Chain A
Amino acid sequence: MNGRTAAATALGVAALGLLAGCTSTAQAAPAASPAGPAKDGTYRATGDYDTPGGPESVDVTLTVRSGVVTAVHVTGSHITPNAQHYQAAFESGISGVVVGKRLAGLSVGAVSGSSLTGQGFDQALDSIRVEAAK
């Protein structure tokens, strides 16, 4: 792995904002909508954020195919000592950009994830949407 990977991880806050921006342009989301899949395409944005090591900026390019992020390119303005610490820490693991596979094509006995949220929470979101539509 290299410094770019480490920086990208430490800079997740900025990237989340960018992802959220992509999704909100792809759909007329109600205020309480959970994040949905984005439209196909390449998204590019620059984000600024504050770290304990000082302000940094990050360029992110995302490629989305069939609602799945298939490529990510992240460039940070510089690497802080904190990010370098992250880099050293992550060398004990393996890293890579996630490329999703359709669940329908996988032979599995179970799925571990967040789609099965509680009914109470989903109902609360639904009621908020109804309120928002009034």
Chain B
Amino acid sequence: MFKQLPANQQETLNVFLNGQSIQVQKGNSVAAVALSQNLGYTRTTAVSGSKRAPFCMMGVCYDCLMVINGVSNQRACSTLVQEGMRIDTQQGVGPAMEERNCE
């Protein structure tokens, strides 16, 4: 669906997208990574389980919610990638607080 145009001298870093290690450009939002990696969808809704992906990219629609470093409901469009970040597709409301503490 999307691709990243080649750029000179861009620093890269390593993140885990649904468990898979990938090299991404520093300064990118998590949503930009998810879209350029053609993830397809980034969450399912809590109401009907239908698939959703980033929509507005400016932090107002809350449709790009993902699980980032184990914390659910994070706006992927408003979060910048960081070295070693774990980014996961969110299913419904995402993992509960207890599960997170057990990690």
Is chain B a partner of chain A in the same complex?
no
User: Which B residues are within 8 Å of any A CB, using their own CB?
Assistant: none
